[in-house]
Amino acid sequence: MRLFTLGTGAGRPTLHRHTSATALEYEGEVFLFDCGESVQLQLVRSPLKWGKMRAIFVGHLHGDHLFGLPGLLGTLSLVDRKEPLQVFGPVGLKEYLRVHLEIKSLWINYPLEVIEIEKPGLILETERYQVFTGPLGHIIPCWGYAFREKPRPGVFNDSKARALGIPEGPERMELVQGRSVTLPDGRLIQASEVVGPSRPGRSFAYCLDTRPCEEVVALARGVDLMVHEATFGRELQADAQQWGHSTAADAARMARESGVKRLVLTHISQRYSDPQVLLHEAKEVFPEVELAEDLQVFPV
């Protein structure tokens, strides 16, 4: 499970920071959070197998988070995608894509489902993971997302399995899944004999654009890694509040209150030629913080 910060700039791209896009790679699937205009180039530059894209999550309808979406959807048609794709986002996203389709600037030849979010809660679930959403404190409707893996099976004790004479094959898979097996000699082996206790699932939260708010704390509570905007430094606190953004210290405070393990700062204003000042401000509040660069990889 790895996170790729494809675009880490705010508002408009620079030579060093493209507009917002973050990809989560999970067990061979790719999930994209926001879709700034340079997302295709950044995906090409990354090692991601983006033909395996499972879903796209758009936070809000400002262009620096959205303008790359029609092009990406069209490219997936050009490469003859056949698998279904889900796109989640705020009300208005369907109309935005409908216009592109109507004027023939976009065509889709695979099953595409656009889901407009109208309330917080669970929006996607499989046997392995859940995705939740919650409202953020921006100047237009904006949604944050949390990806939470379900509890994982415990670690399989290979040496003990060999000592018990458990053959390699389906019997071991059954045990890993928590089921008992009967060996050819008639012995019944319980899963607890060779599999440790279940492990907590891994988790990730994506929160931008937003002022500090309780909804961020609720959405990100306890995650392993939170990606949060840090558009401004403390000297521009008033601007951050006015435009629905956070300072680096605000992001750190949200991480601390949420009880997250690690924080990654993104959505950096182009006015910061040396954004290390933002990292220093955040570290004063929450030590386990990193400043994202484009095409950086963070294990989760």
Same domain, 186 and 37: no
Q: What is the CATH number of the domain that holds 40?
A: 3.60.15.10
* Residue 157: burial class (beta carbons within 10 Å; 0-12, 13-18, 19+): middle
Choosing from 136, 166, 193, the residue where a domain stops is: 193
- Give the number of domains in the chain: 2
Choosing from 168, 193, 218, the residue where a domain stops is: 193
The C-alpha atoms of residue 122 and residue 131 are separated, in whole angstroms, by 6
217, 233, 243, 202: which is closest to 62 by C-alpha?
A: 243
What does the pLDDT read at residue 177?
A: 83
195, 203, 215, 98: which is closest to 153 by C-alpha?
A: 195
Q: Which three-class secondary structure string do you get for 7-73?
A: ECECCCCCCCCCCCEEEEEECCEEEEECCCCCHHHHHHHCCCCHHHEEEEECCCCCHHHCCCHHHHH
Same domain, 137 and 270: yes
Give Cα separations from 88 to 136, 198, 248, 290, 291 (angstroms).
15, 31, 27, 28, 27
Same domain, 139 and 232: yes
Same domain, 9 and 61: yes
Same domain, 187 and 283: no
The C-alpha atoms of residue 189 and residue 295 are separated, in whole angstroms, by 47
Q: What share of the chain is helix, strand, coil (3-state, %, to 5)?
A: 30, 30, 40
What does the pLDDT read at residue 227?
A: 98
DSSP-based three-state secondary structure for 181 = strand
Same domain, 131 and 180: no
Same domain, 230 and 95: yes
The pairing of beta strand 129-135 with beta strand 143-149: antiparallel
- Which residues, listed in sequence order, are joined to residue 205 by a DSSP beta bridge? 146, 226
CA dihedral sign of residues 93, 99, 105, 108? positive
The rounded mean pLDDT for the chain is: 96
Q: How many residues does the chain have?
A: 300
What does the pLDDT read at residue 197?
A: 87
What does the pLDDT read at residue 198?
A: 85
Q: Which residue has the tokens 């690690």?
A: 262
Question: By residue range, what is the domain housing residue 169?
Answer: 158-193
The C-alpha atoms of residue 85 and residue 135 are separated, in whole angstroms, by 23
Same domain, 138 and 172: no
Choosing from 144, 173, 193, the residue where a domain stops is: 193
Q: Which residues of the chain have pLDDT under 50?
A: none
pTM over 0.75: yes
Asked whether the beta carbons of 26 and 47 are under 8 A apart, the reply is no
Q: Is there a catalytic annotation at residue 64? A: yes
Same domain, 228 and 100: yes
The C-alpha atoms of residue 263 and residue 254 are separated, in whole angstroms, by 9
Same domain, 68 and 142: yes
274, 229, 259, 263: which is closest to 247 by C-alpha?
A: 229
Same domain, 243 and 287: yes
Same domain, 165 and 248: no
**Which of the residues 64, 224, 250, 294 is marked catalytic?**
64
The C-alpha atoms of residue 269 and residue 12 are separated, in whole angstroms, by 9
